[in-house]
Each structure stands twice: as structure tokens, then as C-alpha cells.
Amino acid sequence: MLDPLFDQLEDLLPEMSAFRRDLHMFPELSHHETETPKKVAAYLSELGLEVKTGVGGRGVVGILRGDKPGKTVALRADFDALPIQEENDVPYKSRIDGVMHACGHDIHTGALLGTAAVLSKNKDMLEGTVVFLHQFAEEVIPGGAKSMIDDGCLDGVDVVYGAHVSSLHPLGTIGLKEKNAMACGDTFEIEISGRGGHAATPHLTIDPLMVGSQMMINLQQIVSRQVDPVKPAVVSVTAFNGGDSYNVIPDSARIQGTVRTFDNDVRDAIEKSMESIVTTTGEGLGAHVDFTYTRGYPAVWNHPEETKRLEKVAQNTPGVEQIEYIQEQMGMEDFAYYLLERPGTFFWVGGAPAGEPIYPHHHPRFDIDERSMVDIGRLFIGTVYQYLSGVEEQAQPETARAE
């Protein structure tokens, strides 16, 4: 029944690619998206959808009502870019200095717009409503998801799905994960105030670099010695700044980093332990310390029922060659906020460029096979119709979420 729609989507690939390449050439950073939402809104409006702009700040929501009443499915794509200088030599290379779509959000946007185009042409087959969530600022805490939800983007929605393209998996591969899928993402900052002086007389100083170095070593003992080994956790120092001369001990230094967890008790314990270690280390060595711990996105927890639904759809979707149940990932995603409000699942779609060197996400030479947009769109379309048609097997009671 859906083969004609899948064919229509494939026929739209040149149009989706053109839109994606335009976004790629003119990327916009998180919380600074101005032209991107205008382009998305214009495309959705041309399809005849009800369009809401400025949702939660910079979000765009398109609403497609089928010819028959029924439930409501939400599909989400993000459209922000990263502060990276692109190194690819391609016709659609970023024209904005220091800004690049290095995570595939342009692919997500193109795929969701193609999905909207096909579904809008076939709304006589829809037994319900489809909501297209085009989200800003996924890359930077506090993200755009929560503010869009607070602004009502999930009002009336029964279930929500999201996809992320992967440059590390071949085209035709679908990655699924029930329950814990992506980690909570927190950040920390440590400001160390010591007493600077001449490098030749360190006894007359309180060296903030030495204090910070001891803190870094002590912090690494949290995961290795204080966290249950069967509960994943990461404490990573990613920046250590202070001083700019070979013969001057500076007055201050700054440490920054991130914490990734799944278990809320582990998250709380790590924050408490970090504060204790940083404070006592600073005091013991005579330095003043300011410690800031910022809670980021919650963990992405995929609902088992909707993950299984997507698996069934993938098994019958052209172009899907392999379905993998993958391990949980320590990366973070603010799609987690949608899943706290509604049942749903977040999945991965392979898009490794054929015959090219493979570069990971957030790399200056990252790129994606644009055919992955067809794979994402087909899975969205298939899942929408299966959910709205009600032909799937009777759902079993879902296991309660473990906090």
C-alpha cells in the first residue's frame, strides 16, 4: 500500500538534496537561527500545512490533518549547525566562516520536509494528524526541545519519533535501542584563584595550575572507584586554561568538562563527589575555588513498544538492509525531553558516504550520503501509517521506566 508513497519520496530526492545543500551552505549556530526557520516555514506553507513559527523561540511546527479523524503523530528534526570550519571541497561547502553542518541536521531537515511533502499529497490516506517539529538549538544547552514543549508543540500529540543520521554506519543500516539510548549530559566549570609570581620562586606563590592538575587526577577516581562498574558514567575534563608565559605562574586557572550518566542516583552522586573533591583539594593547597555544575539534557529513554513498532516497519521498508540493536551511547540529545512527555523512540539511520574516507560527527570533513534522507523519510512514513491505521498487534503493557 505504501510503495507508491515510497516511490514519490525517492522522486523527491533531488528537491530534498537542493534544500539540504542550501542549508549546508548557509548554516546557523544554535540560538542564532534566523533564515533557516524562515526557509522551513515557507516550504511547509507551500505544501498547504498549518504552520506555526517562533515556537519556543525559533522553532517551526507544521500540522497536517488527514481526511479522516484519528490519533496524532509527531516527527522531529533539528536544524542548527556547529562552530566548525568546514574542510570539505564540495560545491555545497559552507559559505559562513567558522560555521558548519557537521552533525547531519541539514539531512534531518531535508528528510522531514520530504516526508511532509509526500504525506500532504496523500492526506486522503491519513487517519489522523501528523505534526512536523522543526527544532532549533539541539547542540547547545538548554537546547530548543524543552522550550518548544513548554510552548505547546506536543499539545494533542499521542506519540513522537525522531531520527539521527550516522556517518559511521553504511547506507541501509538502521540502529535501534530500547530504554536507555543516550546519556544525560551535564557540564562543569572550576575557577581556581591562587597567587601568581615568578616561576623561579614557586614557594612564594599558590600555583593554580598545580592545584588544577591535582584536581584533574582526583576527579578521575570518581568513576573508577565510586561508581558501580555496571552503571555507565563518564567524567571528562575538556579544557584547562591558565597562564601564557614560560616564566610566570598565573593568578588563576579554569577547568571545564562534561559528565555523562544514565542513572539519576549516579548523576547526583557524581555531582556531590565532584564538589567535595574540588573544594577540599583547593582548600588543602591554599587556593580559592568556585565550582559550577550545570545540569544538561536528561537521558534519552526509548519506549520499548514504539521501538518494536519501528522495527516492524523497518523490516518491511525498501532500502533497509540491516537492523541493529545498538548499545547505549554516551552522547546526549535533547530529544529526551519529548520522550519524557510522550511515548516514542529515537533511532539511527546509516549514511556513510560511499567510496569516501569516513569522518565522525563534529569533524571538519564530516559528510553524509544524501540518499539517507529517503531512508529516514520512508521509516517516518511507514511508522505514521502503521500507528494511525491501528492495524498493529495489540500493545502489551509497557515496563515502567526505571529512574
- Binding-site positions for Mn(2+) read 103, 105, 139, 164, 362
CA pseudo-torsion sign 296, 110, 37, 18: positive
The set of cell numbers assigned to 123 is: 492526506
Q: Could you give the C-alpha distances from 323 to 116, 271, 349, in angstroms and in order?
A: 25, 37, 10
Could you check whether the bond before residue 142 is cis, i.e. omega within 30 degrees of 0?
yes
Encode burial over 296-307: b for 16+ CB neighbours within 10 A, e otherwise: bbbbbbbbbbbb
Task: Name the H helices within 59-186.
Answer: 105-121, 145-150
Q: Which of 78, 80, 106, 271 is catalytic?
A: 80
**Is residue 80 flagged as an active site residue?**
yes
Q: Give SS3 for 159.
A: strand
The Cβ-side half-sphere exposure at 311, using a 13 Å CA radius, reads 15
Instruction: Tell me the C-alpha distance between 123 and 263, whole Å.
Output: 42
**Is residue 138 flagged as an active site residue?**
yes
Residues 6 or more apart whose CB falls under 8 angstroms from that of 342 comprise 74, 154, 157, 158, 159, 160
Q: How many CB atoms lie within 10 A of CB 367?
A: 24
Do residues 252 and 194 lie in contact, with contact meaning Cβ atoms separated by under 8 Å?
Answer: yes
Catalytic residues: 80, 138
